[in-house]
Homo-oligomer: A and B are copies of this chain.
Amino acid sequence: MFSPLIKELIESLRCLPGVGPRSAQKMALHLLERDFQGADKLADALREAVDKVGRCSSCRTLTEEAECQICQDPERDAKRLCIVETPADVVALEAAGSFGGRYFVLLGHLSPIDGIGPEELGLDRLETLVSHNEVEEVIIATNSTVEGEATSHYIAEKLKQMNVKVSRIAHGVPMGGELEYVDGNTLALALEGRKTL
Protein backbone atom coordinates (compact mmCIF):
# COMPACT_ATOMS: atom_id res chain seq x y z
CA MET A 1 0.00 0.00 0.00
CA PHE A 2 3.01 2.33 -0.29
CA SER A 3 2.98 4.62 -3.30
CA PRO A 4 5.06 3.48 -6.34
CA LEU A 5 8.06 5.77 -5.67
CA ILE A 6 8.28 4.68 -2.02
CA LYS A 7 8.01 1.02 -3.06
CA GLU A 8 10.77 1.58 -5.59
CA LEU A 9 12.97 3.19 -2.92
CA ILE A 10 12.37 0.30 -0.51
CA GLU A 11 13.23 -2.20 -3.26
CA SER A 12 16.39 -0.30 -4.21
CA LEU A 13 17.62 -0.08 -0.62
CA ARG A 14 17.74 -3.88 -0.53
CA CYS A 15 20.91 -3.83 -2.64
CA LEU A 16 22.74 -2.70 0.51
CA PRO A 17 24.51 -5.57 2.30
CA GLY A 18 22.58 -6.97 5.25
CA VAL A 19 19.39 -5.06 4.44
CA GLY A 20 16.24 -7.18 4.17
CA PRO A 21 12.67 -6.09 3.36
CA ARG A 22 11.91 -4.91 6.91
CA SER A 23 15.04 -2.81 7.36
CA ALA A 24 14.67 -1.39 3.85
CA GLN A 25 11.14 -0.23 4.73
CA LYS A 26 12.38 1.23 8.00
CA MET A 27 15.21 3.06 6.22
CA ALA A 28 12.95 4.47 3.48
CA LEU A 29 10.37 5.76 5.96
CA HIS A 30 13.08 7.16 8.24
CA LEU A 31 14.56 9.12 5.33
CA LEU A 32 11.22 10.42 4.05
CA GLU A 33 9.59 11.09 7.40
CA ARG A 34 12.39 12.28 9.57
CA ASP A 35 15.62 12.96 7.70
CA PHE A 36 14.79 14.64 4.45
CA GLN A 37 18.02 16.61 4.52
CA GLY A 38 20.07 13.45 5.05
CA ALA A 39 18.20 11.73 2.22
CA ASP A 40 18.91 14.62 -0.09
CA LYS A 41 22.60 14.59 0.83
CA LEU A 42 22.77 10.81 0.39
CA ALA A 43 21.10 11.00 -3.04
CA ASP A 44 23.71 13.56 -4.15
CA ALA A 45 26.66 11.67 -2.66
CA LEU A 46 25.55 8.40 -4.23
CA ARG A 47 24.96 9.94 -7.66
CA GLU A 48 28.36 11.68 -7.57
CA ALA A 49 30.16 8.54 -6.43
CA VAL A 50 28.44 6.32 -9.01
CA ASP A 51 29.22 8.77 -11.81
CA LYS A 52 32.79 9.62 -10.87
CA VAL A 53 34.43 6.88 -8.83
CA GLY A 54 36.46 4.46 -10.89
CA ARG A 55 39.69 2.55 -10.49
CA CYS A 56 43.15 3.95 -10.00
CA SER A 57 44.99 3.40 -13.28
CA SER A 58 48.01 2.19 -11.36
CA CYS A 59 46.90 0.18 -8.30
CA ARG A 60 43.22 -0.45 -9.17
CA THR A 61 41.84 0.89 -5.87
CA LEU A 62 38.61 2.90 -5.94
CA THR A 63 39.12 6.62 -6.54
CA GLU A 64 37.57 9.46 -8.52
CA GLU A 65 40.99 10.59 -9.75
CA ALA A 66 42.96 8.96 -12.57
CA GLU A 67 45.55 7.88 -10.01
CA CYS A 68 44.89 7.48 -6.28
CA GLN A 69 46.62 9.64 -3.69
CA ILE A 70 49.04 6.91 -2.64
CA CYS A 71 50.17 6.24 -6.21
CA GLN A 72 50.56 10.00 -6.77
CA ASP A 73 52.71 10.42 -3.67
CA PRO A 74 56.41 10.62 -4.70
CA GLU A 75 57.45 9.79 -1.11
CA ARG A 76 56.06 6.26 -1.40
CA ASP A 77 58.59 3.60 -2.30
CA ALA A 78 57.59 2.25 -5.72
CA LYS A 79 60.03 -0.65 -5.32
CA ARG A 80 57.87 -2.32 -2.66
CA LEU A 81 54.37 -3.44 -3.51
CA CYS A 82 51.72 -4.81 -1.15
CA ILE A 83 48.94 -6.87 -2.73
CA VAL A 84 45.56 -6.72 -1.00
CA GLU A 85 42.04 -7.85 -1.86
CA THR A 86 40.01 -4.67 -1.28
CA PRO A 87 40.32 -0.89 -0.80
CA ALA A 88 39.26 -1.43 2.83
CA ASP A 89 42.43 -3.49 3.33
CA VAL A 90 44.50 -0.55 2.07
CA VAL A 91 42.80 1.67 4.64
CA ALA A 92 43.47 -0.87 7.42
CA LEU A 93 47.17 -1.17 6.48
CA GLU A 94 47.52 2.60 6.18
CA ALA A 95 45.99 2.97 9.64
CA ALA A 96 48.71 0.62 10.97
CA GLY A 97 51.14 3.11 9.41
CA SER A 98 54.16 0.85 9.07
CA PHE A 99 54.25 0.33 5.31
CA GLY A 100 55.84 2.97 3.10
CA GLY A 101 55.52 1.25 -0.27
CA ARG A 102 52.65 1.14 -2.72
CA TYR A 103 49.66 -1.12 -3.09
CA PHE A 104 48.00 -3.26 -5.70
CA VAL A 105 44.31 -3.93 -5.13
CA LEU A 106 42.88 -7.14 -6.61
CA LEU A 107 39.27 -6.15 -5.91
CA GLY A 108 38.47 -9.75 -5.06
CA HIS A 109 40.15 -13.15 -5.00
CA LEU A 110 40.40 -16.07 -7.42
CA SER A 111 37.04 -17.77 -7.49
CA PRO A 112 36.50 -19.88 -10.62
CA ILE A 113 32.95 -20.69 -9.53
CA ASP A 114 32.03 -16.97 -9.76
CA GLY A 115 33.98 -16.56 -12.98
CA ILE A 116 36.76 -14.57 -11.30
CA GLY A 117 40.05 -15.56 -12.88
CA PRO A 118 43.48 -13.90 -13.21
CA GLU A 119 42.19 -11.33 -15.76
CA GLU A 120 39.40 -10.12 -13.46
CA LEU A 121 41.98 -9.50 -10.72
CA GLY A 122 44.16 -7.55 -13.13
CA LEU A 123 47.17 -9.85 -12.78
CA ASP A 124 48.49 -8.89 -16.23
CA ARG A 125 48.36 -5.27 -15.03
CA LEU A 126 50.27 -6.39 -11.90
CA GLU A 127 53.02 -8.00 -13.98
CA THR A 128 53.38 -4.87 -16.12
CA LEU A 129 53.57 -2.76 -12.97
CA VAL A 130 56.21 -5.00 -11.41
CA SER A 131 58.47 -4.91 -14.46
CA HIS A 132 57.80 -1.24 -15.27
CA ASN A 133 58.54 0.06 -11.74
CA GLU A 134 61.39 -2.42 -11.24
CA VAL A 135 59.68 -3.64 -8.08
CA GLU A 136 62.06 -5.44 -5.73
CA GLU A 137 59.69 -6.91 -3.18
CA VAL A 138 56.06 -7.94 -3.36
CA ILE A 139 54.26 -8.55 -0.07
CA ILE A 140 51.09 -10.58 -0.49
CA ALA A 141 48.48 -9.56 2.07
CA THR A 142 45.39 -11.33 0.77
CA ASN A 143 43.01 -12.61 3.43
CA SER A 144 43.84 -15.71 5.36
CA THR A 145 40.91 -17.64 3.87
CA VAL A 146 40.96 -20.60 1.49
CA GLU A 147 40.40 -18.29 -1.50
CA GLY A 148 42.90 -15.73 -0.22
CA GLU A 149 45.56 -18.43 0.23
CA ALA A 150 44.91 -19.86 -3.24
CA THR A 151 45.17 -16.39 -4.76
CA SER A 152 48.38 -15.75 -2.82
CA HIS A 153 49.86 -19.03 -4.03
CA TYR A 154 48.94 -18.31 -7.66
CA ILE A 155 50.40 -14.80 -7.60
CA ALA A 156 53.58 -15.97 -5.85
CA GLU A 157 54.20 -18.60 -8.54
CA LYS A 158 53.71 -16.04 -11.30
CA LEU A 159 55.98 -13.44 -9.74
CA LYS A 160 58.78 -15.83 -8.82
CA GLN A 161 59.34 -16.35 -12.55
CA MET A 162 60.04 -12.62 -12.78
CA ASN A 163 62.91 -12.65 -10.29
CA VAL A 164 61.08 -10.64 -7.66
CA LYS A 165 61.30 -11.29 -3.93
CA VAL A 166 57.83 -12.43 -2.90
CA SER A 167 56.70 -12.60 0.73
CA ARG A 168 53.49 -13.31 2.58
CA ILE A 169 52.39 -11.41 5.71
CA ALA A 170 52.86 -13.42 8.90
CA HIS A 171 50.03 -15.37 10.45
CA GLY A 172 49.93 -16.14 14.14
CA VAL A 173 48.53 -15.10 17.49
CA PRO A 174 47.13 -11.52 17.32
CA MET A 175 48.49 -8.87 19.71
CA GLY A 176 46.72 -9.11 23.05
CA GLY A 177 45.35 -12.49 22.07
CA GLU A 178 45.25 -15.08 24.83
CA LEU A 179 46.51 -18.48 23.72
CA GLU A 180 43.59 -20.16 25.43
CA TYR A 181 41.10 -18.50 23.09
CA VAL A 182 43.04 -18.67 19.82
CA ASP A 183 41.80 -21.31 17.37
CA GLY A 184 43.85 -24.39 16.51
CA ASN A 185 44.66 -23.43 12.91
CA THR A 186 46.08 -20.10 14.00
CA LEU A 187 48.15 -21.77 16.72
CA ALA A 188 49.51 -24.28 14.19
CA LEU A 189 50.52 -21.38 11.91
CA ALA A 190 52.03 -19.51 14.86
CA LEU A 191 54.18 -22.54 15.78
CA GLU A 192 55.20 -23.14 12.18
CA GLY A 193 56.20 -19.49 11.72
CA ARG A 194 58.19 -19.30 15.00
CA LYS A 195 61.24 -17.05 15.11
CA THR A 196 64.58 -17.75 16.82
CA LEU A 197 65.20 -15.27 19.67
Contact = CB atoms under 8 A, between A and B. Distances in A.
Interface residues of A, number: 58
Given A5-B53, A64-B5, A12 B41 contact: yes
Contact of A91 (B2, B35, B108): B2
Copies of this chain per assembly = 2
A43 B13 CA distance: 10
A2 B41 contact: no
Contacts of A182: none
15 contacts: A1-B69, A5-B52, A6-B64, A9-B45, A12-B41, A12-B45, A15-B38, A16-B31, A17-B30, A28-B49, A29-B86, A31-B49, A32-B49, A39-B49, A47-B47
Interface of A: 1-6, 8-9, 11-13, 15-18, 23, 25-33, 35-36, 38-50, 52-53, 62-65, 68-70, 86-88, 90-91, 94-95, 107-108
